């Protein structure tokens, strides 16, 4: 038995290891890590890490992403500190709804939030969709101006935020910068989203020219939080067909997430 400065108390090695795993997750750049990542960072055996993660998951401090099997801090961690981001809170609530949406659409969907000049995929059903053409989508970045998710976000965020995003896109250069400099074109994109009631991409993203997508902004209490899309092959479904078939369940999913956000106390402010 080791003796501390406060008295003859035994050092609880299991607790120290569990805290090491939590700290390792909180220090990752993307807020998530695999068992292998955590084993490398902490120096603990993979079996030990797996056992600790299972306990932490049961207690509500971490959650396992169904999209890629990685582990993230769960909202209960806010009781210990600020390592849990609002985006992770949103994605934790949205993940089960995306799973339900997959059962109705079959085509995959992504939950995306703004991250600088890109839409960052936080959760996805690509891994589980039999029609998916890109299995590893979590943490992938998508251009704001050429994707349905990005267009949905731009059309519904505040004007000051929109201007700042466009300014950063221009500063970054490249194909997106050329679009952002053409303000009439940007205005047409935004006007079309509002006129249609949804955002779309019919192959304008050059890296995914065979792909089409629809997206709706995800908002809560008057604030846009991100966007949810449904992605499909253009040769299989036209934008018009997709809007007719997929928009109703997509709208229902967005409304469901909004309701769950309202019913789930914010982990930081409790409301």
pLDDT (tens digit per residue) in 4-62:
444 556 778 888 898 899 889 988 877 889 999 999 999 999 999 999 999 998 888 89
**What pLDDT is stored for residue 18 in this prediction?**
87
**What pLDDT is stored for residue 44 in this prediction?**
94
Which residues, at least 6 apart from 137, have a Cβ–Cβ distance to it below 8 Å? 67, 108, 110, 121, 124, 126, 127
- CATH number of the domain where residue 33 is located: 1.10.10.10
Alpha helix stretches (DSSP H) within 27-129: 35-42, 46-59, 86-105
Task: Return the percentage of the chain with pLDDT > 70, whole number.
Answer: 90
* Host domain of residue 68: 13-79
pLDDT at 214 over 80: yes
Identify which of 108, 98, 106 has the alpha carbon closest to the alpha carbon of residue 260.
98
**What pLDDT is stored for residue 1 in this prediction?**
38
Query: With left for phi above 0 and alpha for psi between -120 and 50, is residue 79 left, alpha or beta?
Result: alpha
Does residue 198 form part of some domain? yes
- pTM exceeds 0.85, yes or no: no
Residues 41 and 108 in one domain: no
Does residue 240 form part of some domain? yes
Q: Which residue reads 């929109």 in tokens?
A: 162
Does residue 236 form part of some domain? yes
Identify the domain boundary among 42, 63, 79. Answer: 79
Q: How far apart are CA 40 and CA 19, in angstroms?
A: 15
112-146 per-position pLDDT tens digit: 999 989 999 999 999 899 998 776 787 899 999 99
Q: How far apart are CA 192 and CA 64, in angstroms?
A: 38
Q: Taking the chain, what is the end-to-end CA distance rounded to the nearest angstrom? A: 45
Residues 103 and 128 in one domain: yes
Question: 63 pairs with which residues across the strands?
Answer: 72
Does residue 4 form part of some domain? no
pLDDT at 85 over 90: no
Residues 61 and 192 in one domain: no
Q: How far apart are CA 143 and CA 245, in angstroms?
A: 25
Q: How far apart are CA 190 and CA 22, in angstroms?
A: 41
Residues 25 and 74 in one domain: yes
pLDDT at 150 over 50: yes
Is the Cβ–Cβ distance between 237 and 203 less than 8 Å? no
Distances from the Cα of 49 to the Cα of 22, 33, 34, 151, angstroms: 11, 11, 10, 40
Residues 74 and 96 in one domain: no
Q: How far apart are CA 7 and CA 170, in angstroms?
A: 61
Identify which of 226, 220, 50 has the alpha carbon closest to the alpha carbon of residue 124.
226
pLDDT at 82 over 60: no
Residues 54 and 188 in one domain: no
Identify the domain boundary among 79, 104, 125. Answer: 79
When pLDDT is cut at 50, 70 and 90, the band that residue 81 belongs to is low
**Side-chain-facing half-sphere of 50: CA atoms under 13 Å:** 5
Does residue 2 form part of some domain? no
Question: What does the mean pLDDT of the chain come to?
Answer: 88
**What pLDDT is stored for residue 78 in this prediction?**
61
Region 172-191: mean pLDDT is 94
Q: What are phi and psi of 63, to 5 degrees?
A: -135, 150
Identify the domain boundary among 44, 79, 114. Answer: 79
Region 62-78: mean pLDDT is 83
**What pLDDT is stored for residue 84 in this prediction?**
52
Does residue 270 form part of some domain? no
**What pLDDT is stored for residue 249 in this prediction?**
98
Residues 156 and 244 in one domain: yes
How many domains does the chain fold into? Answer: 2
Residues 116 and 176 in one domain: yes
Does residue 43 form part of some domain? yes
Q: What is the largest CA-CA distance in the chain?
A: 73
pLDDT at 83 over 90: no
Identify which of 37, 39, 40 has the alpha carbon closest to the alpha carbon of residue 51.
39
Strand-strand pairing, 223-233 and 211-220: antiparallel
Residues 235 and 121 in one domain: yes
Residues 228 and 160 in one domain: yes
- CATH number of the domain where residue 107 is located: 3.30.450.40
When pLDDT is cut at 50, 70 and 90, the band that residue 164 belongs to is very high
Neighbours of 161 (CB within 10 A): 13
Residues 166 and 224 in one domain: yes
């Amino acid at each position: 038995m080791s003796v501390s400065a406060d008295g003859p108390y035994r050092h609880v090695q299991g607790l120290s290891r569990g805290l090491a795993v939590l700290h390792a997750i909180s220090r990752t750049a993307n807020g998530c890590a695999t068992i292998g990542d955590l084993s490398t960072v902490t120096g603990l055996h993979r079996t030990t890490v797996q056992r600790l993660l299972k306990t932490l998951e049961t207690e509500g401090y971490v959650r396992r992403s169904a999209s890629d099997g990685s582990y993230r801090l769960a909202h209960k961690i806010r009781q210990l500190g600020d390592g849990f981001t609002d985006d992770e809170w949103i994605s934790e609530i949205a993940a089960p709804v995306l799973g339900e949406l997959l059962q109705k659409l079959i085509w995959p969907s992504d939950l995306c939030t703004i991250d600088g000049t890109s839409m960052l995929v936080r959760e996805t059903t690509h891994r589980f969709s039999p029609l998916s053409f890109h299995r590893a989508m979590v943490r992938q970045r998508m251009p704001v101006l050429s994707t349905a998710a990005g267009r949905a976000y731009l059309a519904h965020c505040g004007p000051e935020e929109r201007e700042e995003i466009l300014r950063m896109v221009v500063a970054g250069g490249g194909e997106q910068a050329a679009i952002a400099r053409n303000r009439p074109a940007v205005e047409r994109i935004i006007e079309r989203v509002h006129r249609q009631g949804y955002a779309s991409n019919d192959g304008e993203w050059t890296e995914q020219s065979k792909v089409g997508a629809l997206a709706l902004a995800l908002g809560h209490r008057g604030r846009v939080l991100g966007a949810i899309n449904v992605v499909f092959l253009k040769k299989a479904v036209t934008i018009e067909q997709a809007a007719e078939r997929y928009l109703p369940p997509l709208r229902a999913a967005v409304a469901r997430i909004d309701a769950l956000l309202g019913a789930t106390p914010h982990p930081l402010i409790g409301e």
